């Protein structure tokens, strides 16, 4: 135990002599020179390096075009006071929408549409050089000219999703800039657009997209579909939200659930003309786990109140959704409050009608961000609050534990001025969460970090591990007939020419979120974990005084964890379904049938349990 404590302390022993992040809410951290009309600010911290990238758009000599800045972990700008401007293209005088993501190899990718209608991606390395030249690469085989969404893959590549107001186009771009085939998402008689991305297992991706009719008030429903990087569709188009009729400008948002699936949420007045936020969830196979295709409202229908402006995160332990949202009075929309609620993957609303986070004080709340702490002990809610001048605002943050109790309250930026807030926050990585905004008074781009204890400013940089982790990490359920014992057998391939003092096996019980660290001899290459019945998530790291903890062990598919289901009965390799759980039609709608004879002719997805209790899904064709 003594060695483990020393190693943990050693990981945070390095402190830089110069820290740029400030702890003064009057004078926040300078990021770059900008203009007072800047907008569409995106921000992302690289999980492997700790660097943070900020992208903003402004009108320049080549049109409404993006610039980028790189901040190191201490908040020091690395690319000069003006950042790097994307100047290899001519842009329109207005924005077709931009996006940005950091990549696993330490770079940043900016994606945008230019005046001639094509979509491009430009990659910039950490040293400021252009990986694929200043013009970058053209995506989607020349298709799609509107807003593009991005999500980084696990191998240095990224997924890109674009649309042309009729169809959506999906493509995986490898780290070297080579492009995989383009997938087209379409449906006859509908516009398939406003897509969002979440990374699935094995570097796959799920696309949630909206099918729209025509007109200002339109029929709209929400679907999810999964793809592999080679253009293979790995799940059917499944219905999440049934058809609603409302203004098409209300679009949805998604967050990954940490298990390969994700949550989608949208606010709209389509149900009884009562404005509310509705939540949906899909698992790692793309199946909805919430039976109600209207979604789960964050608050019971209340004609006297509007609920909207939501932002969400996921508890890394229980994988519940933590969602913050604004409540206003329906009559005048002048009273403004912030609530939070907690929703399980099955749609249970754990905090009832929500917990009041910020009460009405005579002004309006906006730009709400909610982010979970990395260790699952709590979350922060960051928001802007207007002043006597309704166009001016200040920035505040509140920390909460996972039971909904307040931990701290911090003023992040106290001086009221017109600010253009970032479209997203970075989320907590290496103990800090970061936002950015443009000061409309002086045209400067500013940022601010906040830590899990509510403090701002200087942070100690964790020493990055120089040791690779074990490979070929595998786990399988084992049942011993003679002893009637069962558990999980884990194996791995040790790192060549590297001896660890010991391994640390982290086990999480998925149903409860309970975590346990198991110490294993450094010479071992396997471990049998005698468990109870349930689903278990494992992560493995090596430890030595030479380099601290190693990187996590990886599977053959590049994942940093394994999931194993323990049923407590003898393993049965048969996938024959003996009990039907759910049946979906070709549109992804859940049908209430227990007997296949009730089905009419058509294609269906059947989900059920096998003799040994495993949940499997099969495609079936019924002919009559």
Q: Has residue 119 got a pLDDT over 50?
A: yes
* Mean pLDDT score of the chain: 88
The pLDDT assigned to 550 comes to 86
| Range among 251-255, 458-462, 509-513, 530-534 with highest mean pLDDT value | 251-255
pLDDT tens-digit readout, 147-177: 789 999 999 999 999 999 899 999 999 999 9
* pTM beyond 0.85: no
Spatial CA neighbour of 326 closest among 295, 297, 367, 296: 367
> What value does the mean pLDDT take over residues 30-39?
87
- Tell me how far apart the alpha carbons of residues 492 and 555 are, in angstroms, rounded to a whole number: 9
Does the pLDDT at position 128 exceed 90?
yes
**Averaged over 57-72, what is the pLDDT?**
92
Hey, what CATH class is 471-566 in? Answer: mainly beta
List, for residues 9-28, the tens digit of each pLDDT value: 333 322 333 348 999 999 99
Reported as type and span, the H/E element at residue 8 is helix 2-10
Res 298 pLDDT > 80: yes
- Nearest Cα residue to 310 out of 262, 272, 271, 268: 268
Mean pLDDT of 233-248: 93
**Of the segments 143-147, 221-225, 523-527, which one has the largest average pLDDT value?**
221-225
CA distance 263 to 370: 14
> In percent, how much of the chain has pLDDT > 70?
91
* Torsion on CA atoms 556, 561, 562, 566, rounded to nearest 10: 170
Q: Is the pLDDT of residue 208 over 60?
A: yes
Overall residue count recorded for the chain in this entry: 624
Phi, psi of 3 (to 5 degrees): -60, -40
| 128 touches 177 (CB < 8 A) | no
Mark residue 330 as left, alpha or beta (left: phi above 0; alpha: psi -120 to 50; beta: remaining): alpha
Higher pLDDT, 201 or 379: 379
Specify the 3-state DSSP secondary structure of 75.
coil
Helix (H, G, I), strand (E, B) or coil at 202: helix
| Domain residue ranges in the chain | 471-566, 579-622
d(C-alpha 248, C-alpha 332), whole Å: 23
Query: pLDDT tens, 397-454?
Result: 999 999 999 999 999 999 999 999 999 999 999 899 999 999 998 999 999 999 999 9
DSSP 179: B
pLDDT score, position 623:
79
Residue 513 confidence (pLDDT) = 75
Determine the average pLDDT of the residues in 248-258.
93
């Amino acid at each position: 135990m003594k060695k483990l404590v020393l190693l943990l302390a050693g990981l945070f022993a390095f402190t830089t002599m110069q820290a740029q992040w400030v702890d003064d809410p009057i004078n926040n951290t300078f990021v770059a020179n900008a203009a007072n009309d800047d907008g569409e600010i995106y921000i992302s911290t690289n999980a492997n390096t700790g660097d943070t990238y900020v992208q903003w758009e402004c009108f320049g000599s080549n049109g409404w075009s993006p610039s980028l800045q790189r901040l190191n972990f201490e908040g020091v700008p690395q690319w000069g006071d003006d950042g790097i401007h994307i100047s290899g293209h001519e842009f329109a005088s207005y924005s077709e929408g931009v996006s940005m993501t950091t990549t696993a190899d330490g770079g940043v990718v900016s994606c945008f549409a230019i005046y001639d209608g094509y979509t491009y991606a430009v990659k910039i390395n950490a040293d400021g050089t252009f990986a694929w030249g200043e013009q970058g690469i053209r995506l989607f085989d020349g298709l799609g000219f509107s807003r593009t969404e991005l999500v980084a893959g696990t191998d240095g590549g990224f997924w890109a999703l674009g649309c042309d107001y009729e169809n959506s186009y999906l493509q995986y771009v490898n780290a070297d800039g080579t492009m995989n085939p383009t997938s087209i998402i379409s449906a006859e008689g509908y516009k398939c657009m406003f897509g969002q991305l979440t990374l699935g297992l094995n570097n796959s991706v799920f696309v949630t997209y909206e099918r729209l009719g025509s007109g200002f008030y339109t029929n709209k429903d929400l679907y999810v579909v999964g793809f592999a990087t080679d253009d293979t569709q790995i799940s059917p188009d499944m219905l999440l939200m049934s058809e609603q009729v409302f203004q098409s400008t209300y679009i949805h948002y998604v967050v990954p659930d940490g298990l390969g699936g994700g949550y989608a949420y949208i606010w709209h007045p389509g149900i009884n003309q009562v404005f509310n936020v509705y939540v949906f969830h899909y698992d790692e196979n793309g199946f909805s786990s919430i039976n109600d295709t209207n979604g789960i409202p964050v608050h019971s229908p209340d004609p006297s109140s509007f609920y909207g402006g939501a932002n969400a995160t996921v508890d890394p332990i229980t994988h519940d959704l933590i969602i913050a949202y604004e409540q206003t009075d329906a009559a005048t929309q002048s009273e403004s409050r912030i609530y939070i609620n907690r929703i399980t993957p099955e749609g249970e609303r754990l905090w009832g009608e929500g917990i009041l986070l910020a009460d009405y004080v005579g002004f309006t709340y906006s730009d709400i961000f909610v982010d979970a702490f990395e260790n699952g002990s709590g979350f922060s809610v960051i928001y802007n609050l207007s002043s006597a001048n309704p166009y001016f605002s200040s920035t505040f943050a509140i920390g909460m534990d996972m039971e909904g109790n307040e931990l701290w309250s911090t003023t992040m930026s106290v001086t009221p001025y017109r600010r253009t807030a970032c479209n997203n926050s970075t989320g907590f990585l290496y103990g800090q969460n970061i936002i950015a905004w443009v000061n409309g008074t002086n045209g400067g781009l500013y940022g601010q970090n906040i830590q899990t204890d509510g403090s701002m400013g200087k942070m100690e940089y964790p020493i990055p591990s120089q040791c690779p982790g074990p490979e070929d990490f595998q786990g399988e359920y084992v049942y011993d007939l003679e002893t009637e014992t069962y558990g999980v057998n884990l194996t791995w391939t040790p790192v060549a020419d590297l001896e660890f003092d010991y391994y640390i096996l982290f086990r999480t019980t998925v149903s409860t979120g309970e975590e346990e660290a198991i110490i294993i001899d450094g010479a071992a290459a396997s471990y049998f974990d005698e468990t109870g019945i349930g689903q278990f998530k494992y992560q493995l790291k090596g430890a030595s005084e030479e380099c601290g903890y190693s990187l996590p062990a990886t599977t053959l598919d590049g994942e940093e964890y394994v999931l194993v289901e323990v049923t407590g009965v003898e393993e049965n390799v048969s996938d024959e379904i003996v009990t039907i759980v759910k049946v979906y039609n070709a549109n992804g709608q859940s049908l209430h049938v227990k007997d296949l004879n009730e089905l009419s002719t058509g294609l269906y997805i059947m989900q059920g349990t096998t003799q040994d209790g495993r949940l499997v899904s099969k495609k079936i064709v019924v002919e009559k």
